[in-house]
Amino acid sequence: MDIVNIITKKKDNKELSYDEIKYAVEGYVNGDIKDYQMSSLLMAIVINGMTDEEIFNLTEIMLNSGDKLDLSSISGIKVDKHSTGGIGDKTTLVVAPLVSACGVPVAKMSGRGLGFTGGTIDKLESISGFNTSLDMNDFIKQVNDIKIAIATQTGNLVPADKKIYALRDVTGTTESIPLIASSIMSKKLASGADKIVLDVKVGKGAFMKNIDAAKKLSEIMIKIGKRFKKEVVALITNMDYPLGRAIGNGIEVKDAIDTLIGNGEERFTKLCLVIASYMVSLGKKINVSDALDLVKEKLDNKEAYNKFLELVKYQGGDINNIDICKNKYDIISDKEGYITDIDTLKLAEFANNLGAGRKTKEDNINYGVGILLNKKVNDKVSKNEVIGYVVSDENVDTTSLISYFTIKKENINEIDIIYDVIK
């Protein structure tokens, strides 16, 4: 078998066999196939796509490239969630305690972020003392003890995806539904959950820019789940605007806490409740309406908030010591009217330049910096009103930030956070 023939075959839009895909993936992982050869194959896939069978095979080959977690010793149905990524996405910090408080075990392996702000692990590490590095025995014991644990990926999970993803990131081959689907699902299948809920973002701040593409991605991931005998539900959700009020790390933890005590931004709270209700529905084998009632009850009676406190304490964190910079620099409105648009990516880039995210894997994150918004889309503002602020220990010029907000005389139609549910 020869990699050049495989590249040529995919370039000619012909279906690759299981053995050909395996040869390419394994050869790249062990170094026999070079970066430039694999990038050529990936570009051919981006251009010509893959059949369902090719996607199933690629997922299976990447899944089998490393360890797979065995969560069978955790009692109950384990339901995992995955978001395709968003600005201000601290959803796991709210959803996991909600689901756990309903009696469904949450064994969550999460990652650090490479991009505008940190990942779930980075956000948790802004809590002083919080230990995200649990060995599997401690991880499983914790879930059995308190029904929730959030930790970094342990072992050698899906090394083929890690190496291929790093190459995609620097060769313009990230935007491919087959490659995105196989990457996400190989990791989710390796993580050992019984059922999976996917939060597929669409909009200006997401990989998927339109709903049709998001639906196609959702549908193929659900097909992959069925192929591997895993029930998968996908929610198509709005990523045109920041999730919640905060963009950063420590400041997003505070935003999550506000949500858990009932003071969260309305659209973000709705997103968390709906995601949690589908997870609880799958985990308890009840209908979604009953699950939503239960999830709302756990939010209202503060059991979910207490579960978050229990999680933090169990993993060594001090909830009273979250890294948030003390200095505030106001974002001031330059006119009166309604906020009709927010340039989410520009805000995220600003936060990234403050140090809230990584530009390379080796970068250190500044957990304390971030942006908090007092106003959301459709809110009325007055001229010279403070509509948000930047937190930073360094002096920050915020005068350019108002240009990221569109303010007009009339408001716009109500914007929903959830577009569709695909099963």
At 117, list the tokens.
């702000």
Among the residue ranges 175-184, 210-219, 280-289, 410-419, the one predicted with the least confidence is 410-419
- Encoding tokens for residue 309? 């406190």
pLDDT at 357: 85
Model confidence at 155: pLDDT above 80: no
Top CATH class of 3-49 equals mainly alpha
Q: Coil, helix or strand for 125?
A: coil
Prediction pTM value: 0.94
Task: Quickly name the fold that domain 79-314 has.
Answer: Pyrimidine Nucleoside Phosphorylase; Chain A, domain 2 (3.40.1030)
Mean pLDDT (whole number) for 51-55? 98
Mean pLDDT within 13-33: 97
Provide φ and ψ at 52, rounded to 5°.
-55, -40
* Average per-residue pLDDT for the chain: 94
Residue in 254, 243, 249, 378 with CA at minimum distance from that of residue 387? 378
Rounded Cα distance, 78 and 382, in Å: 48
Identify the pLDDT of residue 14.
97
Instruction: Pick the most confident of 127-131, 132-136, 237-241.
Output: 127-131
Residue range 167-179: mean pLDDT, rounded = 89
Residue 422 DSSP one-character state? E
Contacts of residue 194, Cβ cutoff 8 Å, sequence gap at least 6: 71, 77, 78, 79, 230, 231
Amino acid at 286: I
Percent of the chain at pLDDT > 90 equals: 85
252: alpha, beta or left, given left = phi > 0 and alpha = psi -120 to 50?
alpha
Q: Indicate the pLDDT class of residue 169, thresholds 50, 70 and 90.
A: confident
- For the chain, the straight-line distance linking the first and the last C-alpha, in angstroms and rounded, comes to 39
Is pLDDT of 216 > 80?
A: yes
**Residue 246 three-state SS:** strand
How do residues 100-129 score in pLDDT, each as one tens digit? 999 999 999 887 765 667 789 999 999 999
What's the pLDDT tens digit per position in 371-405?
999 999 999 999 999 999 999 999 999 999 999 99
pLDDT at 296: 98
Q: Which of 214, 215, 308 is nearest to 258 (CA)?
A: 308
Share of the chain above pLDDT 70, in %: 98
In angstroms, what CA-CA distances link 31 with 17, 61, 63, 82, 409?
Answer: 21, 16, 19, 30, 60
Query: What type of residue is 210?
Result: N
Q: Please give the Cα distance from 219 to 214 (Å, whole number).
A: 9
Which pLDDT value is given to residue 114? 56
pLDDT band at 179 (very low <50, low <70, confident <90, very high): very high
Mapped onto helix, strand or coil, the DSSP state of residue 205 is: coil
Q: From the CB of residue 62, how many other CB atoms can be counted at a distance below 10 Å?
A: 27
For the stretch 296-331, pLDDT in tens is 999 999 999 999 999 999 999 999 999 999 999 999
Provide the residue ranges of all domains of the chain, joining segments of one domain with +: 3-49, 79-314, 328-408
**pLDDT tier, 361 (very low <50, low <70, confident <90, very high otherwise):** low
Beta bridge partners of 205: none
Q: Which residues are catalytic?
A: 82, 161, 168, 183, 187
Residue 374 has phi, psi (to 5 degrees) of -85, -20
CB-based contact 366:355 (threshold 8 Å)? yes
What's the CA gap between 365 and 29, in Å, rounded? 29
Q: Which CATH superfamily is domain 328-408 in?
A: Pyrimidine nucleoside phosphorylase-like, C-terminal domain (3.90.1170.30)
